Amino acid sequence: MALTDRRRVNGPALPTSIPFYDTPAPAPTVSRSPTELRKIFLKTSLTPPASGSAFYELTPPSTLKLTTSVYGPRPLPPSAGFSPTARVTAELKFAPFSTRGERRGYVRDGLERELSLQLQIAISGMVRASAYPKSGIDVFVTVLDCEGRIEEMIGVDAAEGEGERASLGAMQVLTGAITCASTAIADAGIECVDLVAAGMAALVEAKDGKDMVVMDPSPLDGWQVRAAVLVGYMAARDEITLVWSRGEVGVEEFTGVMESAVEVATKVRGVVNDAVRERLVALLKARGKKEGKKAITEDVEMTG
């Protein structure tokens, strides 16, 4: 047992048999209306040692689940050199068990690298980096469960079919990661100019052969996705921090899809606000009890 790797989440010690279902998986069906968004459960302060943390999940039948922990602002290591502003780094990691059917390796792969980069771009705009010179803010996102199959997730260049749908899964992970990370940063008490919420919309081929825009598409919905657009959106400032699109789309169509994505992000923002506020309210209540309600009546600005 001395050789057990304790640094990682290890698999079961004993072999387990893979469940085998002889009934074929039901064909994906579209059960939602194209404008209906899935509900989100978002909650802060899951990880005690982190400065801030959040948990994000979509309601079943969607399975996306991820956690974010934020460490910082903390001093940069000497090797990092001088930085007059805070350095925001983001790392997105898939848990080995996060994908259906096949375990993922521990080693960081291309997809994780790409998603990490996008995440960093999306969230670094919301932090008031100038308030934290010589500091680092490290954001770690762990994907606990995701939708779609992993080996096809990277197939972004495929024009249609599985490949495109699979890439939708990767984008959806990033959507959740941005929203969750933004919440966790706010939970860490880091000064922000606004909060980022992410939204996604896709251009799909309807049954009648026409294109239509679907908000918050899921890879499980079975759409024939032509293109998908993800935006990181700061609603209070009306600013976009990230646009990520996949597939082939014309300019006019692109605009429409992006508008929809922003709309989704705006709605998601309500959940983010509530999640951030939740702890603060509890905190103020606790202090109000302690200090005879003094704290709550005082002019305390609420972030959101």
Which residue from 93, 96, 149, 212 is in contact with other proteins, where contact means CB under 8 A? 212
Minimum CB separation from other proteins for residue 147, in Å? 14
Q: How many binding residues for other proteins (CB under 8 A)?
A: 89
Chain residues 151-180 in contact with other proteins, contact rule CB under 8 A: none
The answer to whether 187 contacts other proteins (rule: CB under 8 A) is yes
Q: Which is nearer to other proteins, 31 or 151 (CB)?
A: 31
The answer to whether 281 contacts other proteins (rule: CB under 8 A) is yes
DSSP structure string for the chain: -TT---SS----SS--PPP--SSPPPPP---S-TTPPPPEEEEE---TTSSEEEEEEEPTT---EEEEEEEEEEEPPGGG---SSPEEEEEEEE-TTSSSSSPPPSS--HHHHHHHHHHHHHHHTTB-GGGSTTEEEEEEEEEEE-SS-GGGTT--S--STHHHHHHHHHHHHHHHHHHHHHHHHHHTT--BSS-EEEEEEEEEE-TTS-EEEEES--TTS--EEEEEEEEEEETTTTEEEEEEEEE---HHHHHHHHHHHHHHHHHHHHHHHHHHHHHHHHHHHHHHHHTTTHHHHS--PPP-
Which residue from 96, 211, 222, 224 is in contact with other proteins, where contact means CB under 8 A? 211
Which residue from 238, 248, 292, 293 is in contact with other proteins, where contact means CB under 8 A? 238
Chain residues 11-70 in contact with other proteins, contact rule CB under 8 A: 33-35, 37-43, 45-46, 48, 51-52, 55, 57-60, 65
Minimum CB separation from other proteins for residue 128, in Å? 5
Which residue from 161, 206, 248, 292 is in contact with other proteins, where contact means CB under 8 A? 206
The answer to whether 9 contacts other proteins (rule: CB under 8 A) is no
Chain residues 115-134 in contact with other proteins, contact rule CB under 8 A: 118, 121, 124-125, 128
The one segment of 13-21, 89-97, 156-164, 246-254 that binds other proteins by CB under 8 A: 246-254
